[in-house]
């Protein structure tokens, strides 16, 4: 993709750490001009420093995308500093824990930061992305909700399912304006927040159960984002790339059971 993003303006929510940071760094490495939105400045400062050391162009603003005005400010900053906006990546989320008993406050904050933020960001970015001629909106979803469900994460899954519906609906509405809308739905990724919450040993153990045999990396999600943002992806819209190491297409016990069955069948012949 060498040169594909030179001079392009990219806004990334949640760009301070984890997947968002990897995405911001990947675009900057491809000569894009990047605006990072982050709720925690200390994380974002590290990301900005890393991009600057590598010779990239980046601006950071402190913002909370569960507020409409902050979403508008992120887009406005990109336009004011770099003259427009070509690519919008929504990677931030306030993850609501819990199932049916999750608190209303947690559910609302999760919904605002995941789903309403997608509406607010898109409304603000739409005229600028349309002017770009190759406007791209990419959300970071999850397999939790659209494809599978995790005990204790029902509230999160519901929000991510709604985000999946947003992607398809927005793609339909914005196609005539030259804007594509797609999503990446990661499985278990060894990024900063899961590592902090669960520990790397637990993440590696879960990842080992997938057909690929490991957890994914933030850089791999960033690479998929670059693909969906590239000029060559203009015929792809309203869909999701599932990046889960094959975990949703295979019961982790199936290969073992099948292998045992094959051994038994061979012995009986």
Least confident residue range of 76-85, 136-145, 256-265: 256-265
Assess whether pLDDT exceeds 90 at residue 200: no
Assess whether pLDDT exceeds 80 at residue 258: no
Question: How does pLDDT run across 213-231, given as a tens digit for each residue?
Answer: 998 899 999 999 999 999 9
Report CA dihedral (156, 208, 20, 155) to the nearest 10 degrees: 0
d(Cα 197, Cα 141) in Å, to the nearest integer? Answer: 19
Q: Which pLDDT band, with edges at 50, 70 and 90, does 165 fall under?
A: very high
Residue 95 DSSP label: P
Task: Find the mean pLDDT for residues 147-168.
Answer: 94
Q: Which of 5, 82, 120, 156 is catalytic?
A: 156
Which is the CATH superfamily of the domain at 9-268? NAD(P)-binding Rossmann-like Domain (3.40.50.720)
Can you give the pLDDT at residue 9?
98
Helix then strand then coil, in percent of the chain rounded to 5, is 55, 15, 30
Assess whether pLDDT exceeds 60 at residue 146: yes
Can you give the pLDDT at residue 225?
98
Assess whether pLDDT exceeds 70 at residue 89: yes
Per the structure block, which two tokens stand in for 150? 């995790």
d(Cα 135, Cα 120) in Å, to the nearest integer? Answer: 16
Assess whether pLDDT exceeds 70 at residue 264: no
| pTM metric for this prediction | 0.90
d(Cα 24, Cα 44) in Å, to the nearest integer? Answer: 11
Can you give the pLDDT at residue 254?
43
Question: How does pLDDT run across 45-56, given as a tens digit for each residue?
Answer: 989 999 999 999
Number of separate helices (H) and strands (E) present in the chain: 10, 7
Q: Average per-residue pLDDT in the chain? A: 90
Is 156 tagged catalytic?
yes
Q: Which pLDDT band, with edges at 50, 70 and 90, does 42 fall under?
A: confident
Q: Which pLDDT band, with edges at 50, 70 and 90, does 266 fall under?
A: very low
Long-range CB pairs of 42-48, under 8 A, 24+ apart, other chains included: 43/16, 43/17, 43/192, 44/15, 44/16, 46/16, 46/17, 47/15, 47/16, 47/17, 47/21
Q: What ranges do the domains of the chain cover?
A: 9-268
Instruction: Catalogue the E-assigned strands of the chain.
Output: 9-13, 33-38, 57-62, 87-90, 135-140, 179-186, 240-243
Q: Which pLDDT band, with edges at 50, 70 and 90, does 112 fall under?
A: very high
Can you give the pLDDT at residue 255?
42
Q: What percent of the chain has pLDDT over 70?
A: 92
Assess whether pLDDT exceeds 60 at residue 32: yes
Does residue 141 contact residue 189 with C-beta atoms inside 8 Å? no
Can you give the pLDDT at residue 1?
63
């Amino acid at each position: 993709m060498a040169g594909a993003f030179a001079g392009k303006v990219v806004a990334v929510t949640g760009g301070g750490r984890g997947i968002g940071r990897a995405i911001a760094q990947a675009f900057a490495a491809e000569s894009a001009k990047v605006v990072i939105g982050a709720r925690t400045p200390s994380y974002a400062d590290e990301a900005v420093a890393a991009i600057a050391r590598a010779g990239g162009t980046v601006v950071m603003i402190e913002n909370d995308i569960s507020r409409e005005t902050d979403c508008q400010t992120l887009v406005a900053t990109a336009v004011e500093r770099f003259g427009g906006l070509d690519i919008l990546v929504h990677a931030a989320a306030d993850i609501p824990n819990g199932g049916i008993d999750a608190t209303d406050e947690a559910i609302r904050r999760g919904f605002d930061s995941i789903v309403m933020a997608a509406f607010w960001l898109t409304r603000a970015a739409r005229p600028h992305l349309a002017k770009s001629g190759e406007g791209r909106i990419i959300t970071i979803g999850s397999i939790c909700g659209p494809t599978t469900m995790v005990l204790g994460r029902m509230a999160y899954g519901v929000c991510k399912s709604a985000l999946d519906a947003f992607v398809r609906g927005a793609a339909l509405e914005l196609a005539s304006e030259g804007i594509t809308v797609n999503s990446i739905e990661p499985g278990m990724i060894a990024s900063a927040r899961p590592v902090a919450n669960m520990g790397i040993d637990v993440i590696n153990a879960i990842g080992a159960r997938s057909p690929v045999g490991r957890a994914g990396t933030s850089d791999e999600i960033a690479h998929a984002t670059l693909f969906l943002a590239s000029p060559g992806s203009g015929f792809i819209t309203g869909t999701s790339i599932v990046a889960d190491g094959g975990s949703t297409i295979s019961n982790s016990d199936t290969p073992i059971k099948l292998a045992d069955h094959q051994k038994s069948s061979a012995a009986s012949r």
